[in-house]
Amino acid sequence: MRWENLTPDSEHSRADAALFGAEAVITRTFDMPEFRGITFHEIRARSIVNRVPGASRMPFEWTVNPYRGCTHACVYCFARKTHSYLDLDTGLGFDSQIVVKTNAPELLRRRLSSRSWQGEHIAMGTNVDCYQRAEGRYRLMPGILAALRDHANPFSILTKGTLILRDLPLLRQAAEVTDVGISVSVGFTDETLWRTVEPGTPAPERRLDVVRALAGHGIGCGVLMAPVIPFLSDRPDQLRATVRAIAAAGATSVTPLVLHLRPGAREWFMSWLARHHPHLVDRYQRLYAEGAYAPKWYQRRITRQVHELAQEYGIGPAGAGMPRRIRPAAPAEPPTAEPTQLTLL
């Protein structure tokens, strides 16, 4: 293990702290194989509950994000741009320079206890994955879930991480006193595509195992089918295979979301595309000529196809057949506004 900035008073540490909006920063690396090449910036954050900007079309107002950067390393990740706000690289840096808000549980507990807090819904996993690999080491989510449970505060989680199953007892306890929404993100089931475009994530089938396990414990879980990647995962047979697998896992709902390419993600994705699928570069430039989003006609086509398949495979509407207090996290249309801390996995 290597430590840097051990003295919070050092010039370097003070500069980092100001940049990260933190009281102090400790940077360290671990030698274990699962964290090789990854640098953790441990910070004592000043706040943990963030308000979604008013212009956003998200169906929630408050978010909690204990991490910045994500070792799941999805090439298309919509959150890449947010790393530039920390003066960190949005490509490999986003995958390997992880900011950890080590005091997230205590900050949240304090905020939930404050008189100004009205008990609003809190969404997690809306910027980066709160169950990414780092969570296995830092274990911030148990403290966060315990605080939400103790205050009976409604919340939702969107994740690609199988680690969420570790916290099943806490999720169940929370669901006894408040509304809990859980969604897992699975855009496709093609293993070859997964290995190159989502290299740090659990395999799609393992993520569907999470849906299966939650359903087995009576916890309804929706699937955010995101992203559907044009020309790589959008063939009718691919959509069918994915929806069929989602249905077989017992998902309570499926919500498709077509790839969008905001600045930060766009450059990284396009360089990946040029390396792995060079024949598609021109088609992408045409499809995304108007900006970050694929044309409406394309989005509508995918949505219709997925909804028809969901009906065929009997995936019910959100909330059907679930315990009253446990609902799939409500995914939303992506915001049209320029990046906030909100991206959706």
Angle at 70 between CA 240 and CA 65, to 5 degrees: 100
By C-beta, is 312 or 333 nearer to ligand SF4? 333
Closest approach of Cβ 88 to ligand SF4, in Å? Answer: 14
Nearer to ligand SF4, 95 or 167 (CB): 95
Closest contact distance (angstroms) between CB of 71 and ligand SF4 is 8
Closest to ligand SF4 by CB, 4 vs 209, is 209
State the minimum distance, in angstroms, from the CB of residue 159 to ligand SF4.
8
**Beta carbon nearer to ligand SF4, 162 or 303:** 162
Shorter beta-carbon distance to ligand SF4: residue 5 or 132: 132
Q: Between residues 226 and 318, which has the closer beta carbon with respect to ligand SF4?
A: 226
Q: Smallest distance, Å, CB 251 to ligand SF4?
A: 18
SS (H, E, C) the chain: CEEECCCCCCHHHHHHHHHHCEEEEEEEECCCHHHCCCEEEEEEECCCEEECCCCCCCCCCEEECCEECCCCCCCCCCCHHHHHCCCCCCCHHHHHEEEEECCHHHHHHHHHHCCCCCCCCEEECCCCCCCCCHHHHHCCHHHHHHHHHHCCCCEEEEECCHHHHHHHHHHHHHHHHCCEEEEEECCCCCHHHHHHHCCCCCCHHHHHHHHHHHHHCCCCCEEEEEEECCCCCCCHHHHHHHHHHHHHCCCCCEEEEECECCCCHHHHHHHHHHHHCHHHHHHHHHHCCCCCECCHHHHHHHHHHHHHHHHHCCCCCCCCCCCCCEECCCCCCCCCCCCCCCCCC
Q: How far is the CB of 257 from ligand SF4 (least distance, A)?
A: 11
Min. distance of Cβ 129 from ligand SF4 in angstroms? 4
CB of 126 to ligand SF4, least distance (A): 9
Nearest CB to ligand SF4, comparing residues 135 and 167: 135
Positions in the binding site for ligand SF4 (CB under 6 A): 70, 72-74, 77, 79, 128-129, 132, 160, 201, 345
